[in-house]
Amino acid sequence: MNLPKIPLADWIETIEKWLENNLGPFFDIISAIIGGTVNGLDDVLRGLPALVIIAVFVVLAWFLGKWKLALFTAIGLLIIENLGLWGPTMQTLALVLTAAIISVVIGVPIGILCARSNAMQRIFTPLLDFMQTMPAFVYLLPAVTFFRLGVVPGVISSIIFAIPPTIRLTNLGIRQVPGELVEAADAFGSTPLQKLFKLQLPIAVPTIMAGINQTIMLSLSMVVIASMIGAQGVGEYVYRAVTQGRTGVGFEAGLAIVILAIILDRLTQKVVQRTEKQS
């Protein structure tokens, strides 16, 4: 093969440079929004005494699930507190919640667009596949170029990795609304927006919630990677333990992530079940 190599790497870097030079103010705005959200959540989560936060979670678990979930939540969070990982775990939670909130805010409308137009769906499907399969480390680099080190590029890369399920399942949920119901809504003279808000979204809620649940889980799986570019939190402890070869510390921090993951997963699943029951 004597064909010259396609200079793909050069192209990408040229694009990166161009974006950095020309869209700087735009990235600053995004950075301010994301940074503000993470810090705001972080201030609340770490500003309040650990026991208050634990109590809030336990009540939420009690309300959504049963006493078993409440008990697990209480014990799990107390273990984290006991291991001395409360602060970093709350930092991680702030990061994950920010990524999840932004994913929902962006992902649900995109999912709705995809559901309403086959052309949009055809554009987004390969894009989402690309976002999910491209190794996450690869888009850490441009994220750092645009947003510098810290929590913001961590949130950005978490969003890129975690947003696809929300988009896909919003699209699916709306498309799965039975044709006869859509027909009925049309037959009574609904406008497209009335149809969306009075019929399609309410019926799609359980499916959309399942997507949000996956988005949260995926962004949690990004915390260790995000810590490599300076996102603080419990992921940082894992990363440090790995580089220093300290199995015990790594295990403790890993356990904190697992506990947080299980609690968030069960809580959002309970929300899914509730919405399913309603419809």
Partner 1 sequence: MAILEAKKLTKIFGDDPKKAIPLLEKGWSKEKILRETKLTVGVNQADFTIESGQIFVIMGLSGSGKSTLVRLLNRLIEPTTGQLLFNGNDVLKMNAEQLRQYRRKNIGMVFQKFALFPHRTVIQNIEYGLEVQGIDKKKRREMAMESLKLVGLSGYENSYPHQLSGGMQQRVGLARGLANDPEVLLMDEAFSALDPLIRKDMQDELLELQTKMKKTIVFITHDLDEALRIGDQIALMKDGSIVQIGTPEEILMQPANKYVERFVEDVDLSKVLTASHAMEKAETITIDKGPRVALQFMRDRGVSSLYVVDRSMKLLGLVSAEDASAALKEAKGLEDVMQKEVPVTSPDSLLNELFELMGGAKLPVAVTDDTGRLRGVVIKGAVLAALAGNGNSLLDGGDSNESA
Residues of span 236-265 touching partner 1 by CB under 8 A: none
Based on CB atoms, which residue is closest to partner 1, 10 or 180?
180
Nearest to 199 by CA among 211, 179, 187, 181: 181
CA distances from 262 to 29, 69, 214, 253 (A): 34, 10, 12, 15
Q: What is the spatial distance between Cα 72 and Cα 60, in angstroms, rounded to a whole number?
A: 12
Smallest separation, CB 173 to partner 1 (Å):
13
Smallest separation, CB 277 to partner 1 (Å):
10
Q: What is the spatial distance between Cα 219 and Cα 279, in angstroms, rounded to a whole number?
A: 28
Smallest separation, CB 186 to partner 1 (Å):
6
Based on CB atoms, which residue is closest to partner 1, 12 or 181?
181
Of 108-116, 145-153, 188-196, 211-219, the window that binds partner 1 (rule: CB under 8 A) is 188-196
Residues of span 194-223 touching partner 1 by CB under 8 A: 194, 198-199, 202-203
Question: Both ends of the chain: CA-CA distance in Å?
Answer: 60
Based on CB atoms, which residue is closest to partner 1, 77 or 112?
112
Based on CB atoms, which residue is closest to partner 1, 178 or 245?
178
Of 4-12, 33-41, 81-89, 192-200, the window that binds partner 1 (rule: CB under 8 A) is 192-200
Nearest to 209 by CA among 108, 94, 72, 96: 108
Task: For residue 279, give the 3-state DSSP assignment.
Answer: coil
Q: What is the spatial distance between Cα 242 and Cα 79, in angstroms, rounded to a whole number?
A: 22
Provide the H-helix boundaries in the chain. 8-22, 24-47, 50-64, 67-82, 86-116, 118-133, 136-147, 151-175, 179-187, 192-195, 201-220, 223-227, 234-244, 247-278
Based on CB atoms, which residue is closest to partner 1, 152 or 208?
208
Residue 119 within binding range of partner 1, rule CB under 8 A: no
Based on CB atoms, which residue is closest to partner 1, 51 or 184?
184
Nearest to 265 by CA among 206, 210, 204: 210
**Residue 51: alpha-carbon gap to chain centroid:** 26
Which of 4, 25, 126, 189 forms a contact with partner 1 (CB under 8 A)? 189
Number of residues located near partner 1, criterion CB under 8 A? 19
What does the per-residue mask of binding to partner 1 show for 168-187, with x meaning CB under 8 A? ----------x-xx-xxxxx
Smallest separation, CB 268 to partner 1 (Å):
20
Smallest separation, CB 112 to partner 1 (Å):
17
Based on CB atoms, which residue is closest to partner 1, 257 or 272?
272
CA distances from 27 to 103, 131, 187 (A): 17, 20, 46
Q: What is the binding site for partner 1 (CB under 8 A)?
A: 178, 180-181, 183-191, 194, 198-199, 202-203, 278-279
